[in-house]
């Protein structure tokens, strides 16, 4: 994919995600793998008002080749996920209330979801009886150290759809931007369902 096409797709994704309220206060960052490397949102821009000037273009090694502004520190986490997950061509990082709160309510290092028909919105999941496991990592301002944790986890349990960062948000991957958006919407529905279930059943039933 060419850089201009990838940027146009991420601009459209930003508008949709922003309307959902999942990227408040210029939060979040988006990226896409391209033929020449990667494109990633620059830091500090409202994701609902992205434009060609809000992206940084990187080569295959992650070196800047075009674009103004400051890359987010989390850019390195995006690049790390592309290395770990060969089928990932888009990474969307968002900060919804549901993802952020649920990542704190669940004290274990994995959110396990089962029994929801909407699990099938994620590629490869064929039944509501399957267990969909989303790893949860402790938030860390040291992005290199956080990336190493993801890498270590991936060695024994491959990351497929997404990861949660505790008290921070979710990183979702997809083979293309449409799949990434579908994964994001499906997961956000599941996160909201889990929060509602916990309110009714009590947290003790989920530990």
pLDDT 10s digits, 161-174: 999 999 999 999 99
For residue range 21-45, list pLDDT tens digits in order: 999 999 999 999 999 999 999 999 9
Predicted confidence (pLDDT) per residue in 103-113, tens digit:
999 999 999 99
Q: For residue 197, is pLDDT > 70?
A: yes
Q: Which residues contact 149 (CB under 8 A, 6 or more apart)?
A: 137, 138, 140
CA–CA dist 58, 37 (Å, integer)? 6
Gap between the terminal Cα atoms of the chain: 44
d(CA 200, CA 206): 11
pLDDT at residue 206 greater than cutoff 90: no
Q: What is the percent of the chain where pLDDT is above 70?
A: 98
In 3D, which of 100, 76, 91, 83 has the Cα closest to residue 21?
100
State the binding site.
93, 95
**How many angstroms separate the CA atoms of 168 and 36, rounded?**
30
pLDDT band (50, 70, 90) for residue 151: very high
Which class does domain 3-206 fall in?
Answer: alpha beta
In angstroms, what CA-CA distances link 28 with 21, 33, 42, 96, 186?
A: 11, 17, 10, 10, 18
Relative to beta strand 169-174, strand 64-66 is unpaired
pLDDT of residue 81: 97
Mean pLDDT, rounded, of the chain: 95
Residue of 14, 7, 13 lying closest to 178 (CA atoms): 13
Q: What's the length of the chain? A: 207
Give residue 204's pLDDT band: very low, low, confident or very high (50, 70, 90).
low
Domain chopping of the chain, boundaries: 3-206
- Binding annotation for Zn(2+): 93, 95
pTM of the prediction?
0.94
């Amino acid at each position: 994919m060419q850089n201009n096409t990838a940027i146009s797709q991420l601009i459209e994704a930003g508008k949709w995600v922003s309307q959902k309220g999942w990227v408040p206060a210029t939060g979040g960052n988006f990226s896409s793998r391209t033929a020449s490397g990667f494109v990633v949102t620059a830091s500090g821009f409202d994701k609902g008002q992205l434009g060609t000037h809000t992206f940084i273009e990187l080569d295959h090694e992650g070196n800047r080749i075009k674009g103004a502004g400051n890359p987010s520190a989390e850019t390195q986490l995006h690049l790390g996920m592309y290395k770990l997950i060969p089928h990932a061509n888009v990474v969307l990082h968002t900060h919804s209330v549901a993802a952020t709160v649920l990542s704190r309510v669940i004290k274990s290092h994995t959110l396990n979801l089962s029994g929801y028909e909407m699990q099938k919105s994620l590629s490869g999941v064929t039944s509501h009886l399957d267990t969909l496991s989303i790893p949860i990592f402790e938030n860390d301002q040291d992005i290199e150290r956080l990336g190493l944790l993801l890498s270590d986890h991936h060695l024994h349990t491959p990351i497929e759809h997404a990861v949660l960062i505790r008290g921070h948000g979710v990183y979702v991957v997809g083979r293309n931007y449409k799949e990434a958006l579908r994964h994001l919407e499906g997961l956000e529905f599941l996160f909201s369902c889990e929060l509602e279930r916990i309110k009714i059943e009590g947290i003790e039933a989920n530990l």
